Amino acid sequence: MDEILDDLNIRKLSAQERFDKLIYLIQNSDDESLRVDSVWLLSEMRDFIKIDDPLYEKIADMLVWVLHNDKNGVVKHEAAYEIGRQNMINKIPDLLRAAVSDDSVLVRHESVEALGLMKTDEFKEKVKVCLKDPAKEVRETTMFVLKRIMRRKYDPNSPMTRFSINQKNP
């Protein structure tokens, strides 16, 4: 993973202090670049804490808060990506909501793409509504995600199979 900008040395803080500082920055900074970095650092925490740590789910909830409440599409885009990257299956309804109703094409596109990162296809039928999105980018991303799901069904043991559904396994 590329080094995430941490010019405030937030990684040196304890987990709770880091969480509190990142939440403060996300909710109060006028600098969208700082908020994006804070989203990355927040999500990164889940890579290093145990699943039964109370912060684990609080981080997921905060990413959803960003997805639905930040005023900047790039920041919301990054929150959507991190939800998908972290395979937050229980946040699929939030990604679907953003994919269908966010004002930003960038956020709708990334929310659909984040769904495609999930290791499930439970959203398949619901995301099809995005094939009618007014933005070409969202429609193309939706088709991409649906095709990815079909490939995974072809080779369920591989999250990213290299064979199309028309090829035979060698």
Residue 133, domain member (yes or no): no
Residue 14, domain member (yes or no): yes
Rounded-to-integer distance, Cα 2 and Cα 146, Å: 29
- Domain enclosing residue 81, as ranges: 10-123
What is the number of domains present in the chain? 1
Specify the pLDDT at position 8: 73
The residue among 109, 122, 107 whose CA lies nearest residue 152 is: 122
Rounded-to-integer distance, Cα 131 and Cα 140, Å: 8
Residue 42 reports pLDDT greater than 80: yes
Residue 141, domain member (yes or no): no
Rounded-to-integer distance, Cα 92 and Cα 65, Å: 14
In the chain, the percentage of residues whose pLDDT exceeds 70 is 86
Specify the pLDDT at position 103: 98
**Amino acid letter at 134?**
P
Which domain CATH number covers 38?
A: 1.25.10.10
Q: What is the distance, to the nearest Å, from the Cα of residue 71 to the centroid of all Cα atoms in its chain?
A: 17
Q: Dump pLDDT digits (tens) for 14-37.
A: 999 999 999 999 999 999 999 999
Rounded-to-integer distance, Cα 101 and Cα 80, Å: 14
Residue 1, domain member (yes or no): no
Residue 59, domain member (yes or no): yes
